[in-house]
Amino acid sequence: MTDLSGTVLAVSVSATHTMSKPNQASIRVIEGLGVEGDAHMGATVKHRSRVRRNPDEPNLRQVHLIHDELLDELREGGFELEPGQMGENVTTRGVDLLGLPLGARLQLGANVVVEVTGLRNPCAQLDGIQPDLMAAVIGKDDNGNPVFKAGVMSIVVAGGEVRPGDEIKVVLPAGTYVPLREV
């Protein structure tokens, strides 16, 4: 893990359960809930498939972050994507999100702190943005196991405003490194 800081490239929010989220000049993040005005904000799950399974399950997907380096990779593969288009609230640059351990904390700007809870599991709705996008964000490791590259999910530990250009500081958890799994 070498990238311990980076930058917020874009912030996005959508009040409805649409895949793409329009970019904003800033977003307000609320402790224990998520992004103000976002359809996925709440202490309990808001993703529709998860609500059907158990509406009382804690929301470990309050803030979705995607690294802009993934968008670069996808553009090189022929996809036309912009920040927020894959449903993320925060698009980052310079942080190895997928290499973070469970419980890593990201300070976004002066006050906001989110704690990484796991990998985003890509869904077929990505293919509604562009055909074959879902397959493009699922790689394979050396053993042939799937590697989900569509960003990370987090919970809000400390709230405040987040804007493009804000610095990101990574604080790794003490103890044993626990790799991220889908959440």
pLDDT reported for residue 48 = 79
Residue 41 falls inside a structural domain: yes
DSSP β-ladder status, 23-24 and 27-30: unpaired
Residue 176 falls inside a structural domain: no
Residue 181 falls inside a structural domain: no
CB count in 10 Å sphere of residue 76: 8
For residue 108, which of 33, 172, 27 has the smallest C-alpha distance?
Answer: 27
Residue 88 falls inside a structural domain: yes
Residue 148 falls inside a structural domain: yes
Residue 183 falls inside a structural domain: no
* Number of domains composing the chain: 1
CATH for 143: 2.40.33.20
pLDDT reported for residue 49 = 81
Instruction: Using alpha carbons only, give the angle 77, 23, 167 rounded to the nearest 5 degrees.
Output: 85
Q: Identify the domain containing residue 86 by its residue range.
A: 5-171
Rounded to 5 degrees, what are φ and ψ at 180?
Answer: -75, 145
pLDDT reported for residue 56 = 92
Residue range 51-106, pLDDT digits in tens: 888 999 999 999 999 999 999 999 999 999 999 999 999 999 999 999 999 999 99
Residue range 140-153, pLDDT digits in tens: 999 999 999 999 99
